[in-house]
Amino acid sequence: MTVATVAISMTSANADDFTQCSESFYGGVYPEFTNDKLSNKTQALCMDGFAVMYSGVSRTPLWSAEHLDRKRLQQAKEIDREDSFHEESKLPESARASLSDYSKSGYDRGHLAPNADMANRSQQYDSFSLANIAPQSPRNNRYIWRNIESATRYLTQQYGEVYTITGVSFTNKKTKQLADRVLVPSHFFKAVYIPATNQAGVYYAPNDESERIEIISIDELATEIGIDVLPMLDSQTKKQAFDLPLKAGESSDLPADEPTEEPTWMLFVWAIIEWLLGQLQA
């Protein structure tokens, strides 16, 4: 079954739905559909601390948007994780995902706007809404995605603020379903824009156990998924993919083939190995 074949009665989103959370978007402008079919049966949701474009076709978010800064992340560090997965009461019952959809499915309940970005309990609670959740491959969720969420927070600390759009795509000809209701994305993405340097890039990963991930441009993402996630950016910024780090603390300024210095502990290990080799040869 494909996305286009699922029919649910639900209103389309309009610009006014995001007026209460425009701060989540760079320039106050939310992502634009370049493939109009994707806008079918969507609903805009202003959550506490982020914004969501929800699809009643897939019963998942298509994307979640956040504005991160150092103050918000500092507040987020002071809150321990409190899981509270729940159905979204703002949505019609016929369009909601349910907790039972994910039960024994083999997929994680993957956050788009992550819990670790949330600055207070209200934001944290909203992040566990199923309107912010999509079926995610366990290895992708627990390794690849965890790393890039940390890397995005690192970029926020480094540059002061970033805007992120995290979403899913359904590019396979046949789409898997959970409980014959929730569609399983083919890919996850996270677009990151750094206002301080006017640079943007996108993490793009297949929703499987392969641990593959690409860094692509905003324009390349739009071609893949039919959404311009950052419509306020100039054409050059959209064309050029910023070399996003894959882990927190990695330099994004060095060319890929330029060697980095060995950490101090590694130099110490090599010194011991060389000493032992010298003793054996003596």
Neighbours of 127 (CB within 10 A): 25
- Token look-up 């909601």 returns 96
d(CA 46, CA 240): 30
Rounded-to-integer distance, Cα 49 and Cα 51, Å: 7
Query: How long a stretch of residues is the chain?
Result: 282
162 and 128 in contact (C-beta within 8 Å)? Answer: no
Is the CB of residue 138 less than 8 Å from the CB of residue 108? Answer: yes
Examine the residue annotation and report whether 111 is marked as an active-site residue of this protein: yes
Q: Which residue has the tokens 């298509």?
A: 62
Whole-number Cα distances in Å, 213 to 171, 193, 228, 230, 245: 16, 18, 20, 21, 11
> How buried is 85 (Cβ within 10 angstroms: 0-12 exposed, 13-18 middle, 19+ buried)?
middle
Of 67, 86, 111, 187, the catalytic one is 111
Count other C-beta atoms under 10 Å from residue 94's C-beta: 10
DSSP string, 90-137: TS-GGG---HHHHTTSS-EEEESS-GGG--SHHHHHHHTBGGGEEEE-
Question: In 3D, which of 138, 126, 171, 133 has the Cα closest to residue 55?
Answer: 133
- Is 172 flagged in the annotation as binding? no
How many C-beta neighbours within 10 Å does residue 278 have?
9
Binding residues for Mg(2+): 141
Binding residues: 141
Active-site residue set: 111
